[in-house]
Amino acid sequence: MSANIEELERRRAAARLGGGEKRVAAQHAKGKLTARERLEILLDEGSFEELDMYVEHNATDFGMDQQRVPGDGVVTGSGTINGRLVYVFSQDFTVFGGSLSERHAQKICKVMDMAMKVGAPVIGLNDSGGARIQEGVASLAGYAEVFQRNVLASGVIPQVSLIMGPCAGGAVYSPAMTDFIFMVKDSSYMFVTGPEVVKTVTNEVVTQEELGGAVTHTTKTGVADLAFENDIEALLAAREFVSYLPENNRSGVPELPTGDPWDRIEDSLDTLIPASANQPYDMHELVRKVLDEGQFFEIQPNHGGNILCGFGRVEGRTVGVVANQPMVLAGVLDINASRKAARFVRFCDAFSIPIVTFVDVPGFLPGTAQELGGIIKHGSQAAVRLCRGDRAQDHRDHPQGLWRRLRRHGLQALARRPQLRLADRRNRRDGCQGRGRDHLPLRARRSRQDRREDQGIRRPLRQPVRRREHGLHRRGDLSALDPAAYCAGVAEAAQQAAREPVEEA
Ligand code: HXC
């Protein structure tokens, strides 16, 4: 064997060993898998193609030149899940606590760039102590690069984060910018500053679990979407979850063959919704009966339970479901429910996933906690997202499918409601064309008119439509008035009306 190949083999073995047997054993003792073991479960067998296996950090201070591990604490590459391409990175806690160095960040950025280029989801398995302390600002700059890509990829490709260990500092900001976060109970934590820092600064005593555990984030804060018992459960759930997601914002939703007959009749739906509005019922049951094979992948089931959000399929194709839940707080809308729905609908809108809305809501939750907590802002966000979620590319036949399914099930009452959002393809000539394309990379955003302009053909001036003209004029007339004179005129008219005798009938 040549010396080069021997060296390559040595480095490969070192990369596979990560932080060494002792640290791997410590990882296993905590019930956690290593970075590579996790990828083996997440991806289809034998599909993983690793990138940058031999990359090492470039730090020399604090004796770092003596401690180099090939791979530098993160395993990156691509693979398939049920045959569909995904890009992945998996942080290795056994190497400097999975902390992010400059090179570590470059590896993550590379897979994110590739994912954006080919239009495939990115899945991050996070297990990191944050910025690598020994590298100082170089690692912080690394985070800047990762964050920027999180933002650029938002709405272009799905981004999913699995938090699989104690993640601190910058290691929580990046996942928070992604679309969905899964956590593992008792072994994963998310906090900007840990309990020690909290104690020092505010003198509060709090455990890791209370501050940023999976239960805290999936029930109280809503930072994470789902909590699982262990690594394997989380990884298998991620595999299932990805099957609902489009590859990118132009690919359309995936379609799976379904054994659910198109003419299935659910007689129970005729009686499920009680005649009395005061009597609650479980919206889960209704949703499951409408969706293919009763499969509903619910997001944030333990947070904002008064609204249900999740994915299912109708005639084999993914739909997003937003449904009021009369079983929790009588299905009212509050801050948590509004934020949850707004975020979910925004994702569906960006990726052209049709949304089915099941509406049964008494209104917003009254109270000082809600008003002072900003229900106006959060509630309006939910409304904005729902109103904007009105487009779907390449789904022209889907709305009919949804209508058929709902009508077939005897849900006439629901189907008649105007709120039922069956996304359709719209020819956007209302001057809002920037809206639907905000999520596309710059190149894709160039319209036909842009290309015509490249050829020297001038863009025609767009005339305001008559309806808008009237509106503008009315406003113009009002704004031309002096406010004081306007108010005086109104007051005088009121006084005169009061002086005039009331005519006898
Ligand atoms: C370098 C780190 C590290 C880090 C952990 N390690 N975090 N090395 N940089 N940020 C190393 C430890 O030195 C240790 O090395 C090994 O990883 C395991 O760590 P332990 O502490 O033994 O593990 P555990 O008890 O499970 O605690 C995990 C932890 C804790 C909660 C993550 O390590 C911790 O609090 N780390 C520091 C977190 C932090 O302050 N990060 C910087 C945030 S600043 P050995 O050799 O002993 O195995 C930041 C700014 C972002 O991120 C700003 C963005 C805008």
* Domain assignments of the chain as residue spans, ordered by start: 2-59+66-242, 269-429
CA proximity to 301, closest of 319, 316, 318, 287: 287
What topology is assigned to 269-429 in CATH?
2-enoyl-CoA Hydratase; Chain A, domain 1 (3.90.226)
CA proximity to 215, closest of 104, 301, 311, 141: 301
pLDDT tens-digit profile of 264-318? 888 888 888 888 888 889 999 999 999 999 999 999 999 999 999 999 999 899 9
DSSP-based helix, strand, coil % in the chain, nearest 5? 45, 15, 40
Residue 112 CA to residue 119 CA, distance in Å, equals: 10
Residue 45 CA to residue 243 CA, distance in Å, equals: 16
Q: What is the pLDDT of residue 485?
A: 67
Helix (H, G, I), strand (E, B) or coil at 325: coil
Q: Confirm or reject: Cβ of 41 under 6 Å from ligand 1.
A: no
This model's pTM is above 0.75: yes
Query: Who's near 240: CB < 8 A, 6+ residues apart?
Result: 297
CA atoms within 13 A on the CB side of 320: 29
Q: Are 75 and 34 in contact (CB under 8 A)?
A: no
Q: What is the pLDDT of residue 268?
A: 87
Listed in sequence order, the DSSP H helices in 351-442 are 368-372, 375-388, 398-408, 412-416, 433-437
CA proximity to 100, closest of 66, 64, 57: 57
Helix (H, G, I), strand (E, B) or coil at 447: coil
Q: What is the pLDDT of residue 67?
A: 85
Residue 49 CA to residue 46 CA, distance in Å, equals: 8
- Mutate-to-test residue for ligand 1 from 32, 64, 96, 143, highest number of ligand atoms within 8 A of CB: 96
Q: Confirm or reject: Cβ of 169 under 6 Å from ligand 1.
A: yes
Instruction: Look at the chain and count its residues.
Output: 505
Q: What is the pLDDT of residue 460?
A: 55
Q: What is the pLDDT of residue 299?
A: 96
Q: Confirm or reject: Cβ of 170 under 6 Å from ligand 1.
A: yes
What Rg value do the Cα atoms of the chain yield, rounded? 27
Tokens 């509004």 -> residue? 338
- State the CB neighbour count (10 A cutoff) for residue 268: 12
Q: What is the pLDDT of residue 39?
A: 96
Q: For 219, which DSSP code?
A: I
6 C-alpha vs ligand 1 centroid, how far in Å? Answer: 34
Q: Confirm or reject: Cβ of 432 under 6 Å from ligand 1.
A: no
Q: Are 64 and 102 in contact (CB under 8 A)?
A: no
CA proximity to 242, closest of 257, 231, 253: 253
Atom of ligand 1 minimally distant from the CA of 193: 40
| Residue nearest (by alpha carbon) to ligand 1 atom 4 | 132
Residue 371 CA to residue 203 CA, distance in Å, equals: 30
When the candidates are 1.10.3720.10, 3.20.20.70, 3.40.190.10, 3.90.226.10, the CATH number that belongs to 2-59+66-242 is 3.90.226.10
Atom of ligand 1 minimally distant from the CA of 167: 32
Average pLDDT per 10 consecutive residues for the chain, totaling 505 residues? 88 90 93 95 95 90 85 96 96 95 96 95 96 91 95 95 93 95 96 91 93 96 96 95 94 90 84 86 93 95 95 94 92 91 93 91 85 85 70 42 48 37 32 38 56 67 42 46 64 74 53
Q: Are 415 and 403 in contact (CB under 8 A)?
A: yes
Q: Confirm or reject: Cβ of 73 under 6 Å from ligand 1.
A: no
Q: What is the strand order of the sheet 159-163 is part of?
A: 49-51, 74-81, 84-91, 122-126, 159-163, 180-184, 226-228
- Joined together, the tokens standing for residue 105 give 């960040």
Q: What is the pLDDT of residue 167?
A: 94
- Mutate-to-test residue for ligand 1 from 72, 126, 133, 140, highest number of ligand atoms within 8 A of CB: 133
Q: What is the pLDDT of residue 462?
A: 46
**Beta pairing partners, 81:** 84
Q: Are 296 and 312 in contact (CB under 8 A)?
A: yes
